[in-house]
Amino acid sequence: MSNINDPCLGCAIVRGDTRTTGGVLARAPGFVLHAVASPSPVSGWVVLTSEQHVRG
């Protein structure tokens, strides 16, 4: 069984390896605000991702 955190989409977005349609909107110490990575039923959906990976 594969681990859902590997590869981590959030980490790929933070590193710039993966680009979302809306892109990265803002960076702050420790965090990145970006558009949701997949099509969403909610227009303007954004995600706040930590710059350091946290396994969950």
List CB contacts of 15: < 8 A, sequence separation 6 or more. Answer: none
15-42 tens-digit pLDDT: 999 999 889 999 999 999 999 988 888 9
Confirm whether 23 is domain-assigned.
yes
- At residue 1, the pLDDT reads 43
The answer to whether 56 and 11 are in contact (CB under 8 A) is no
- At residue 28, the pLDDT reads 97
**Residue 2 backbone zone (phi > 0: left; psi -120 to 50: alpha; other: beta):** beta
How much is the mean pLDDT over the chain?
A: 87
Range of the domain at 14: 9-50
- At residue 40, the pLDDT reads 85
Confirm whether 18 is domain-assigned.
yes
Q: How many domains does the chain divide into?
A: 1
Confirm whether 56 is domain-assigned.
no
- At residue 12, the pLDDT reads 94
Confirm whether 42 is domain-assigned.
yes
